[in-house]
Chains A and B, each alone.
Chain A
């Protein structure tokens, strides 16, 4: 088992995982964030798309351990995001969803189009959407919804902070450049369930290497009665 620290929707979490656990399963099974959907586990269908360090990525072929220290944003974490608010309105008006299974991943990609490519035309929109499969809508309502939001964006209906992306390399990787012993002991805020109890054992030390010191901590967290997760 390996320890991985992630910031999920703004909340830091520390989980003990098998290296083979993918990010989608960690979010869905451990943290109750089931809005991100799993289907092909090959990176082809796009249903699992979420934001890692603010950029769209496939959570089905990204093992959680590879994202040590990264910022993960799921559909639940974009509840109040102005672009997402506009997209939700547009998707309903243009009937951009039917069964809803591809929708969270589709919205993440749609948001990326609006924020990264504000001048995209229909052809470009379709190209950028080609990595998100939908079997229900024929893409008509989706493309119309994205066009509508692009027009609203160009007309200044909402402000989007341009993402300053300078870091090279795979998004989500490269945060774990810390020497042994520097692993942060963040306050592990549990993200699911109502039962209080021992959170678990947290083992610190460099993954794979024999640490000089092994620190074990176990602590009880009184979980709040209501958790607004999403």
Chain B
């Protein structure tokens, strides 16, 4: 290129190019896989959302924003599904973060049998979530479920867990927290163990209480890990499907219906793939914006509280 006129500029250009080439080569395999097995299917789905695309009768005629208009005008979607989804997201992420943090602090100590406790805490990661969800659905059954058997042993009247909104919601939430707490615990424990020891030694010399050490040393140092964990988990919690589908099916009626169930029922039970895809694209937009805002907010909030 123009490098002939100015040898120095030419050199810089080559240097930059070489670096860029290296950068591109580093991500090339990932880009290839992503393009073919994620981006291409996602764009196909997005394309379907603008079309009259029933699975059993794919006319594929362009209908613009009709599917989107249906979803945003659906009162159930706005008044039931979205509040349920965000309520579930907030409760699940908060509860599993707190439980995971407590477990990580526990496992960060040295005590006999720590290894065993750690293995037990990781058990939820080893079972297929769908199987765990079926198991828990039976456990919460009002007739043969073990939960009511235990309650009765303590003299508490049996509860028909899955027939009312809040008890069903509780069972789902408990399952989700059970499944995801180990994930938080692992990441936080790894982070805890990599913290430098000096601030803790200083705190010990100053005879700071355990709570103060945690509040003013441990927590601020864990901040980046917590923020990343919460954001990633929030994205996944927004898409939660199989646990809710297996335990309550979104019922009773539509009381525990969350976003993914709404999209799934439209796309695969009513076979309106275009409308289901439109709901999915709307959901993606909502969660991209939400997660970004959450990331900013968490960072600022932790910054201020420090």
A binds B: no
Which residues of B are interface residues toward A (Cβ below 8 A)? none
Interface residues, chain A, CB within 8 Å of chain B? Answer: none
